[in-house]
Amino acid sequence: MQEPVNKRSGLGLLSYLWNEWFSTFAILILLLLTLIIGTGEMIHGQLLRIGESLYGDEKIGMQYSFLRAEPEKPTCDRHPNVDALVQQQMKANSKDEFSDIFGTSSESDVRQSVMAAQQQCEEKFTFYDKSIKYLDDHPSIRPYRNVETGFFWLFKFGTDNKVLILLLMVVISSITASVKMHHIGLRPPKTKLDFRIYNLFMVIGNALLSYSVICQYNSVLNSGVASTYETIGVYWLWITLFISLTIISLFQLFRIPSTAEEGGKIGLALLSVPLYAFMAIITGVAFTFFMDYPMGQGIYLGQLVEFSGIFLNLALFIWAGMLLTQTRIMDLFLAILRPWNLAPETLTWIILIGAAIPTAYTGASGIFVVAAGAIIYKEVWNSGARRQYALAVSAMSGSLGVVLRPCLLVILISMLDSRHVTSDELFNHGIYVFWLTAFIFLAVSLYLAEDKFRINSPKIALPGMLRAMVPVIPYVVIVFLIIGFYKYGLDTQMDEFTAPVILPFMLLAFILFDKMFGDRLPIPESYNALAVEHEKQSAYLQEHSETGHKRGFGAAIRFATSESVGHIGALIILMALSASMGGLIERSEIVTMVPTHLGSILITLGFMALLLALVGMTTDPFGAVILVAATIAPVAFENGIHPIHFWMIVLVAFEFGYVTPPVALNHLLTRLSVGDAEVAAADAEAKEKYTSFYYRYERWILPIMVLFTSLLIVTYAPYFFNLFDWYPHK
């Protein structure tokens, strides 16, 4: 969206160095440090066990734990003059009126005490001599100890400063997203008016945020409460971030890109404003001018700090998603299906089921859409589907897996509402919601399909399928090796808590294998002539499928990290402002206007589903969950809704909201992944070929039909069939 810059001089060079090198390198270091923090405890435990097995000696009573620090020579007198010490102590006792009470007046008692002290001193020297001799006899202990304690220091430093690491990551990535104009909006700015409105709203929103965090900082200073360096660092990072964003937006307000088109309409220009800028202005004006609570935004931004572990894992998932784009793994697995030449609807159903697994492992629907949306779009379109249908599938590709283990969103719910639900309960019920939505999608797709069924003969398909499975085998082996290493080497299972750490290592291994041996295991060519034609038509997809795979290992990591920077900044700052919006709703006490008892469980269920869908339409998932847990969930429980049932409704309602205007976050991220040119081509193709309202707007209507139907069933079926043995039936 920005105009081309001269990389050799002035601001162009500064922008290039920041965007392409400094921010990428800094975020890479912070991500790697986060990985070390995540794996630190388990690795350090293993280092201690290894040290004990290598250097512990039960025969002489020597343990590695005794040697983790250099033994200190005792300062006591190893060969004291006992008689002199006894006489000295006797003189001291004679002046002590309490010596008779404690039984220390007799010479024999004093001598016994001195001899005991001498014995303790001798034991200290004996242990010291034994330790020094043991260290000298085993010269490898000191180097090993340096590694182990050095790693422990790094791990402890990261754990103690987790909040600062997260905020530093947010500061760098958000500044980069602002410089690149990469923040999430309903449409990209194109005209000069678009850019002016975009940057004007950014200036106002960031200025209000700057004022809020400064007010909060001054309030803390004036409170008289002692603040730690971490607390002060948090405030200074927030202040630095929003003042920097204000200055950047102010500069961009007067520096419109030369590529911007003339003219523009105010309505379309408002649609190009980043969502977080709207949220910043709404909350800033409300807190500052109507509630006389200027520090409100800053206080609710603190929820980002409170759940720093969750958001650091989210950053790792985003990085994992971008690393996924640099591998061939998606293409290789899809190549297994190509020989069957399946009808688009059947192929799409299989793809969505398969996509649910990485969706669950990347934490939330939006991340997977950004990472794999373009690949899925290409595959579905190449199978003969309509472009609008392919876009609909890309937007839904991240929807089905949010109810499956180990989705980060469910973990956050279990943390926020630990009194009522556990992650195991939610995941166990989520599998039924997953299959329900999957079969509804298949039924709707087949009903609206132009060609109901198509499949190659097994005689043709099976040989091609078997050939396509050969290149996949090494990746399966890599997966088992890494999981086995964690399970048997570090005594750690891959689950919802360890997945954010294990996945990046797995994808780094995939990329390394691709660069070293990928050319020897080529991706089988498409069996569909239409796919070849589509590849020729789409320059974006051709670049996506070729350029990314031609990068070297280092270049692929740099590119993936560079892409992650913008997404981390755009998504996390949006989540932070969503939390602020939630705080505004909570403080305005709008939710208290909802009757505690609506009179009917059916009315309550319908009302909650509608309310949650509206929340999902306007906020991001993580910020929305925090809002719902604090405000809506208690009302639902008061009205007799089973907690597990309620949270299942929440998850489906959110996914329905994310594909529904006015925001439709998953569609925005699909556009980000697929490219504006492909979306425009899909709209043009639909207008040219179809007169039906449905086919012209299929990318919007199909996901809404599927998820609305799923929402209705999830909302009412548990009540009518009493699936939770909770709702009374007369």
Average pLDDT of span 346-350: 89
Which residue, of 125, 155, 185, is where some domain finishes? 155
Domain range enclosing 268: 163-306
174 with 300, same domain? yes
Residue from 390, 718, 364, 424 nearest 575 by CA: 364
Same domain for 255 and 182: yes
Which of 117-126, 342-351, 374-383 has the lowest average pLDDT? 374-383
Do both 252 and 293 map to the same domain? yes
* Per-residue pLDDT tens digits for 50-62: 888 888 888 888 8
Query: Quick check: is 492 in a domain?
Result: no
pLDDT tens digits along 616-627:
887 777 778 877
Using alpha carbons, select from 616, 597, 615, 613 the residue that is nearest to residue 715: 613
Query: Is the pLDDT score of 76 beyond 50?
Result: yes
Does one domain contain both 122 and 179?
no
326-345 mean pLDDT: 85
Q: What percent of the chain has pLDDT over 90?
A: 30
Q: Note the pLDDT tens digit of each residue in 26-46.
A: 999 999 888 888 787 778 788
**Range with the lowest mean pLDDT among 22-36, 357-371, 610-624?**
357-371
Most confident of 66-75, 180-189, 190-199: 190-199
- Reported confidence tier of residue 286, pLDDT bands at 50, 70, 90: very high
Is residue 510 assigned to a domain?
Answer: no
First to last CA, the chain: 62
Q: Please say which residue of 253, 287, 306 terminates a domain.
A: 306
- Whether 186 and 280 map to the same domain: the answer is yes
Annotate 575-615 with DSSP letters as a single string: HHHHHHHHHHHHHHT-GGGS-S--S-HHHHHHHHHHHHHHH
User: Has residue 223 been placed in a domain?
Assistant: yes
* End residue of a domain, out of 111, 132, 155: 155
Distance CA 408, CA 402 (A): 8
150 and 79 within one domain:
yes
- The separation between CA 511 and the C-alpha centre of its own chain, rounded to angstroms, equals 21
Residue 243 belongs to some domain of the structure: yes
**Claim to verify: residue 131 and residue 189 sit in the same structural domain:** no
Tell me how far apart the alpha carbons of residues 111 and 88 are, in angstroms, rounded to a whole number. 11
* Range 503-519 average pLDDT: 88
82 part of a folded domain: yes
Average pLDDT over residues 372-391: 86
Span 313-325, mean pLDDT?
A: 85
83 and 58 share a domain?
yes
**Structure tokens that stand for 436 in this block:** 């329900």
Q: Is residue 102 part of a domain?
A: yes
Instruction: Examine the domain organization and report whether 85 and 147 are in the same domain.
Output: yes
Q: Is residue 332 part of a domain?
A: no
Do 210 and 296 share a structural domain?
Answer: yes
- For position 541, what pLDDT does the model report? 53
For residue 608, being part of any structural domain is answered with no
How many residues does the structure list for the chain? Answer: 730
d(CA 230, CA 244): 21
Do 273 and 195 belong to one domain? yes
> Which stretch of 81-85, 160-164, 439-443 has the lowest confidence by average pLDDT?
81-85
171 and 302 belong to one structural domain: yes
Q: Check residue 5 and give its pLDDT.
A: 45
Q: How many distinct structural domains can be found in the chain?
A: 2
List, in order, residues 6 or more apart from 62 with CB less than 8 Å away: 55, 56, 130, 131, 134
The pTM assigned to this predicted structure is 0.80
Q: Check whether 591 has a pLDDT greater than 70.
A: no
57 has which bridge partners? 62
For the chain, counts of helices (H) and of strands (E): 31, 0
